[in-house]
């Protein structure tokens, strides 16, 4: 799907107005049964990888947050009727639960659920400037919506159209 087609199909769905990290965590807590885990308990290689990813994340281009200034939150999402549609056996690398990691300043996100990542990036929204300029943050969200539409049976797309996403 080329860029012009993506713009026609998805630009009008992209929410203008960024949510901060507190809003994203609140959304997560209202949606799922979860437990916050201590990020420092992750293996050093995993923490280093996530820190490097957050540093070079498109959301950090303008912010330029350094690794030593980052603050990560790690959540274990309990698998039950609230979360089951987000579990993909191909992505479940840690058994029968989902995890979600958020860096609070850059809003870099990592999870073992592609559906959850797409939804949280959508919930995060984009600034009006990003929307009008169609910058990399905008294009990142646009591409997630496109992949959801093509490869994930329109999982999020259907929720947006049927107003089942409470942004």
Question: What pLDDT, in 10s, does the model give residues 91-109?
Answer: 655 566 789 999 999 999 9
How much is the average pLDDT of 108-124? 95
pLDDT for 167: 72
Q: How many residues does the chain have?
A: 167
Instruction: Determine the average pLDDT of the residues in 52-70.
Output: 96
| CA distances from residue 4 to 79, 89, 103, 146 in whole angstroms, order as listed | 38, 33, 32, 12
Strands 72-78 and 109-111: unpaired
So what's the pLDDT on residue 99? 92
Of 162, 35, 25, 17, the closest CA to residue 98 belongs to 35
Average pLDDT, the chain: 93
Whose CA is closest to 94, among 80, 72, 111?
111
With cut-offs at 50, 70 and 90, classify the pLDDT of residue 16: very high
The tokens describing 82, both together, are 């609230």
Q: Which residues contact 17 (CB under 8 A, 6 or more apart)?
A: 125, 127, 128
Domain boundaries, the chain: 3-161
């Amino acid at each position: 799907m080329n860029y012009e087609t993506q713009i026609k199909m998805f630009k009008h769905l992209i929410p203008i107005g960024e949510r901060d990290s507190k809003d994203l965590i609140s959304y997560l807590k209202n949606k799922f049964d979860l437990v916050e885990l201590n990020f420092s308990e992750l293996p050093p290689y995993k923490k280093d990888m996530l820190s490097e990813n957050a540093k070079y994340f498109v959301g950090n281009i303008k912010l330029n947050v350094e690794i030593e200034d980052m603050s990560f939150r790690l959540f274990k999402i309990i698998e039950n009727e609230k979360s089951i549609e987000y579990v993909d056996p191909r992505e479940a690398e840690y058994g029968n639960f989902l995890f979600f990691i958020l860096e609070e300043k850059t809003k870099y996100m990592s999870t073992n659920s592609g559906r959850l990542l797409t939804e949280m990036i959508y919930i995060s929204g984009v600034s009006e400037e990003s929307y009008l300029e169609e910058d990399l943050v905008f294009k990142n969200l646009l591409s997630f919506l496109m992949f959801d539409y093509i490869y994930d049976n329109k999982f999020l797309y259907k929720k947006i159209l049927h107003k089942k996403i409470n942004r």
